[in-house]
A = this chain, B = another copy of it.
Amino acid sequence: MFYTIDILGTIAFAISGVLVAMSKKMDLFGILIIGFVTAIGGGTLRDLLIGETPVNWMQDITFTYVIIASAVFAMVFKNKINYLRTSLFLFDTIGIALYTLIGIEKGINANLHPVICVALGTITASFGGVIRDVLCNEIPVIFRKEIYATACVLGGVTYFLLSELPIKNDYVFVIAGVVVIVIRLLAVKFKIALPTIYSDEKT
């Protein structure tokens, strides 16, 4: 089941990259690369930081095929992709949840401090989008207005808090994932953003 979620997340991430690349009028190759980098960037950075090489996507060809297929699909149906926006947003959100938790578990296996594990999970979930925006010459959207990383961090904290209790690890994993998903959904639905520090009152 995790593998299925991983594939769905990959599809959502790849398509998000393709859409940004198309908005920049890139050529076919550029679109494909941006889709690819968005989908695998976070996991790649995670693997590099902990020294797990060759990095993940190089060892399982399925991801490459899924990304190429997603990119072709998004290019062919680019005028109809709006109808899928809700599905893609859901895939994206559960993808984020899964990637956060995979990152955390990889950090635990590498004997890292819980705070570092949460950072690693957040990096896994969010740096694909950061690299996408850098390559498209934009300030990463995640740094400006999306309450996205906050969901990852809170899900990660939940994971470690629940791990202290006598709960089976599988349940901890699922509950923490649900926390990420719910926070993200609520934040988008109610347009919750991080508090600004630029208002006059805050001086």
Interface residues of A (CB under 8 A from B): 21-22, 24-31, 33-34, 44, 48-51, 53-55, 57-59, 61, 64-65, 75, 78-79, 110, 112-113, 115-116, 119-120, 130, 134-140, 142-145, 149-150, 193-198, 203
Contacts and interface: CB of A to CB of B under 8 A. Distances in A.
A22 to B, nearest CB: 7
Nearest to A131: B134
Given A50-B54, A54-B110, A58-B112, 12 more contacts: A27-B145, A27-B193, A27-B196, A29-B142, A34-B143, A49-B54, A50-B58, A51-B53, A64-B115, A65-B115, A75-B197, A78-B197
A197 B22 contact: yes
Contact of A30 (B50, B51, B140): B140
A119 B57 CA distance: 11
Contacts of A61: 113, 115-116
Contacts of A24: 139, 143
Nearest to A51: B53
Contact of A51 (B33, B51, B149): B51
14 contacts: A22-B198, A25-B144, A26-B143, A27-B193, A33-B149, A50-B53, A51-B54, A54-B110, A59-B112, A61-B116, A64-B115, A78-B197, A135-B143, A137-B138
B28 A194 contact: yes
Contact of A139 (B58, B136, B143, B193): B136
A55 to B, nearest CB: 5
Contacts of A150: 29
A120 B53 CA distance: 14
A48 B59 CA distance: 15
A196 B25 CA distance: 9
